[in-house]
Structure formats: structure tokens, C-alpha cells
């Protein structure tokens, strides 16, 4: 049912699925055990999948009640369509495809951009993390929010965002400049040249992060190594981690040793796996960086309040036409008589004077 739900969400017709059961959908056919059972159950279960996907797409988009806080106003609607023209299922599917391209292509490309490469890689992860939280391809998050997610100064983020746009080859595009309380607005999009790359690999499990607090102490390379183990489809070997991260063997070996000493990962039969009983937040507290993260968040909130207060004090109010011209006030003349009798009395009074 999970496979059928996925295919239904992608609007693959039932007839096409039935035709492909003996080719690239042979794995689906094998789940039924026999061909006769597949023929008997597929139609009924496809109807159930259609009903389930239709019900899910009718629900409010994901992320509206998410706990993440943003320093900007509600997002704009871009792309030329109505706000509800795409379902949340479709948006999340495109974000998943963009993640596939990130791990397959962009990670290796950004790894060759010099010393900034690792920061750019995690900045793009933070962008995708915010997109997932908001279930939207339109990202209107301020530099300070990105700085908190990546563990850098907001000035560094402001300098790197244009470079990230340049290196992503159309995947991330700036569509509106910051104004007032609103941050720069970016649009995530899967370019045509990478659609085949995105479809070639299955979606990865787990969340995507910037720099989690514990890696403010352990470093960005340790975060890459931990992520490569955490989000791999199986327990990877050291050689596979080297290929996935694009880091050198001495660096990967050093980081694996550090992570193993903290009981964050362990080696089993030549492959590495996450130790799920270890709480990385507790390790962050022991290393003293959880308090640093909380302090950074307090500073970001204080700076946001100061900026909003500055805008309220110094921004000129909007001048409307009604403020410039009041018909009742400007058209009334105190010397104008109300009727002809009053006009005659006024003339006699002036002549007598």
C-alpha cells in the first residue's frame, strides 16, 4: 500500500502500473507473491490508495503549525499560480527530488568551491529544512534565521547566499529583495537538466538539517560524516562515507574516531551505524554548545525586535489621497450663505458698513 500510495500521489495511471509489472515494477508484483494474487488485489488496493491520497491532499498543507519561528511576514505567492494550485504532496515530492540532486550532484560541486564549500553545503541544507517545515518552495527567511540554523554570523550568510544561488544552477533563485520587515524571497525549483538525476535514486529517509548544536563544537566535517551514516540507505563502510562526503580519508578517519569516542556512532562488521541510544542534545550540553546555541537564539530575537522597533519609529506613514484632500473640509466656505435670503442680508449689512 505504501508503494501504491506513492504512485497514486505521482498520478501514475493504474493501466501503466499493470503494464510495467513485468519490467521495472517487478518488485511491486513480487510483493503480492503470485501473479494471480496481484491481478486479483491490485485494482481494489489501487482504489483504496486513491481514496487515501485524495483525503490527504484535502487536508491543510503541512508545516502551518510547525514550531519553527520565522522573522518575516507571511510568504508571498510566486510562480504565476494560485496559492492552492499545488498540493502539499506535490511540493514535498519536489523537495525530495531536490534533495536527491543535492546528494548526487551539488555536494560534489560545492566541495570544490574552496574553503566556503562546506558552509555552502549546509546553507543549502538549511534552505531545504525551512522549505520542508513550511511545505513551500518559496523561502522568505532572514539571514539571522539561517545563521542560527548553520551556526555562522548573519553577515557571512548575507555574503554566501548570492554565491549559493550562483552555484546551484537555477535550483535556488532570488525572486524578491528585502523590504521593511520582509526578508529576501527565494524560490526552490528543480531544473530540467536534473530531473532524470532526481528520479534515478530513491528518496532518502530522515530529516535534513543545517548545523545541529553539537556540531558547533565538533565541526562541520564531523556533521557531514554523521549525516552520511544517518541518512544512508544501509550502514556504510569508511570508503562509502568518503565517496558520499567528498572528504579526504584522513579527515573522515579522524571524525569517525571522534564520533565513536562520544558513542555517537559505532562500527559493526566493517560498517558504521548510528548509536540511537545516545542523545546528541545531551552531548551538546556536556560540550557547552547547547547554551551557546540558546544564547545565539536570544540574540537573534533581540536584534529582530530592535529592527522592528526602528522601522516603526523611522518609516514614514503611508499617505493616502483622503489624507491630502477632504471634500467636506476643503469645499466648505464659512463666508458662503446657506440660501438667497441670507445672501441679501449679507449685502445689506456690507452696504450699511
Which has the closest alpha carbon to 93: 58, 125, 137? Answer: 137
pLDDT of residue 271: 93
Task: Report the range out of 31-40, 233-242, 337-346 with the highest average pLDDT.
Answer: 233-242
Q: Determine how β-strand 271-274 pairs with β-strand 172-176.
A: unpaired
Distance between alpha carbon 73 and the CA centroid of its chain, in Å? 15
Res 94 pLDDT > 70: yes
What distance in Å separates the CA atoms of residue 98 and residue 103, rounded to the nearest whole number? 9
- pLDDT for 339 equals 55
**Within 168-279, where are the H helices?**
195-200, 215-218, 220-230, 238-245, 249-261
The pLDDT value recorded for residue 2 is: 81
Helix (H, G, I), strand (E, B) or coil at 52: helix
On average, the pLDDT of the chain sits at 81
Res. 342: pLDDT tops 50: yes
Residue 57's pLDDT is what?
57
Report, at the CATH architecture level, how domain 212-317 is classified.
Orthogonal Bundle (1.10)
Average pLDDT over residues 282-309: 91
Band (65; pLDDT cuts 50, 70, 90): very low
- Whether pLDDT at 105 is above 90: no
Residue 208 has pLDDT above 80, yes or no: yes
Q: How far apart are CA 67 and CA 143, in angstroms?
A: 19
Residue 69 pLDDT more than 60? no
Can you read off the three cell numbers belonging to residue 225?
560524516
Q: pTM here?
A: 0.65
Longest dimension (CA), the chain: 120
> How many beta carbons lie within 10 A of that of residue 161, not counting itself?
19
Residue 81: predicted pLDDT: 41
Does residue 171 contact residue 123 with C-beta atoms inside 8 Å? no
Of residues 80 and 189, the one with the higher pLDDT is 189
What is the pLDDT, as a whole number, of residue 236? Answer: 92
CA dihedral over 257, 262, 264, 265, signed as positive or negative: positive
Helices (H) and strands (E) in the chain, counts: 19, 5
CA 193 to chain centre: 22
**DSSP H helices in 10-103:** 14-19, 26-31, 35-57, 88-101
Mean pLDDT to the nearest integer, 209-216 = 92
**Confidence grade of residue 73 (pLDDT, cut at 50, 70, 90):** very low
Helices (H), 136-192: 143-150, 154-167
CB 129 within 8 A of CB 173: no
The better pLDDT of the pair 312, 290 is held by 290
What pLDDT score does 274 carry? 93
**pLDDT level of residue 76 (50, 70, 90 thresholds):** very low
Task: Say how many C-beta atoms besides its own lie within 10 A of residue 174's C-beta.
Answer: 14
pLDDT exceeds 60 at position 267: yes
Overall average pLDDT of the 184-202 stretch = 86
The grid cell for 68 is: 519553527
pLDDT value, residue 111: 83
pLDDT of residue 63: 40
- How confident is the model at residue 217, as a pLDDT? 93
In eight-state DSSP terms, residue 316 is P
Enumerate the CATH 1.10.10.10 domain ranges in the chain, comma separated.
Answer: 212-317
Task: Return the closest-CA partner of residue 53 out of 4, 116, 108, 109.
Answer: 4
User: What does the pLDDT look like over 128-168, one tens digit per residue?
Assistant: 999 999 889 999 999 999 999 999 999 999 999 999 999 98
pLDDT bucket at 79, cuts 50 / 70 / 90 = very low
Amino acid at each position: 500500500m505504501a508503494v501504491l500510495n506513492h504512485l497514486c500521489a505521482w498520478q501514475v495511471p493504474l493501466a501503466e502500473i499493470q503494464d510495467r509489472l513485468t519490467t521495472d515494477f517487478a518488485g511491486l508484483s513480487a510483493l503480492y507473491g503470485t501473479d494471480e494474487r496481484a491481478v486479483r488485489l491490485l485494482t481494489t488496493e489501487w482504489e483504496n490508495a486513491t481514496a487515501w491520497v485524495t483525503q490527504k491532499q484535502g487536508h491543510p498543507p503541512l508545516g502551518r503549525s510547525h514550531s519553527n519561528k520565522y522573522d518575516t511576514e507571511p510568504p508571498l505567492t510566486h510562480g504565476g499560480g494560485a496559492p492552492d494550485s499545488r498540493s502539499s504532496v506535490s511540493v514535498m515530492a519536489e523537495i525530495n527530488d531536490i534533495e536527491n540532486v543535492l546528494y548526487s550532484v551539488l555536494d560534489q560541486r560545492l566541495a570544490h568551491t574552496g574553503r566556503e564549500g562546506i558552509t555552502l553545503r549546509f546553507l543549502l541544507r538549511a534552505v531545504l529544512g525551512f522549505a520542508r517545515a513550511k511545505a513551500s518552495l518559496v523561502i522568505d527567511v532572514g539571514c539571522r534565521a539561517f545563521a542560527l540554523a548553520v551556526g555562522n554570523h548573519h553577515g557571512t550568510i548575507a555574503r554566501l547566499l548570492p554565491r549559493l544561488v550562483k552555484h546551484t544552477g537555477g535550483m535556488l533563485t532570488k525572486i524578491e529583495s528585502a523590504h521593511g520587515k520582509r526578508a529576501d524571497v527565494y524560490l526552490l525549483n528543480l531544473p530540467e537538466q536534473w530531473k532524470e538525476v532526481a528520479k534515478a535514486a530513491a528518496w532518502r529517509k530522515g530529516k535534513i538539517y543545517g548545523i545541529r548544536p553539537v556540531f558547533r563544537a565538533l565541526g562541520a566535517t564531523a556533521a557531514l560524516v554523521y549525516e552520511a551514516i544517518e541518512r544512508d540507505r544501509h550502514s556504510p563502510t569508511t570508503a562509502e562515507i568518503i565517496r558520499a562526503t567528498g572528504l579526504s580519508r584522513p579527515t573522515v578517519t579522524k571524525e569517525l574516531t571522534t564520533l565513536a569516542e562520544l558513542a555517537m556512532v559505532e562500527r559493526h562488521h566493517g560498517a558504521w551505524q548510528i548509536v540511537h541510544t545516545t542523545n546528541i542534545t545531551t552531548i551538546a550540553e556536556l560540550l557547552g554548545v547547547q547554551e551557546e546555541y540558546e544564547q545565539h537564539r536570544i540574540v537573534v530575537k533581540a536584534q529582530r525586535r530592535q529592527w522592528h522597533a526602528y522601522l516603526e519609529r523611522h518609516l514614514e506613514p503611508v499617505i493616502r489621497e483622503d489624507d491630502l484632500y477632504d471634500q467636506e473640509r476643503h469645499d466648505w466656505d464659512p463666508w458662503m450663505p446657506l440660501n438667497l435670503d441670507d445672501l441679501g442680508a449679507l449685502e445689506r449689512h456690507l452696504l450699511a458698513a
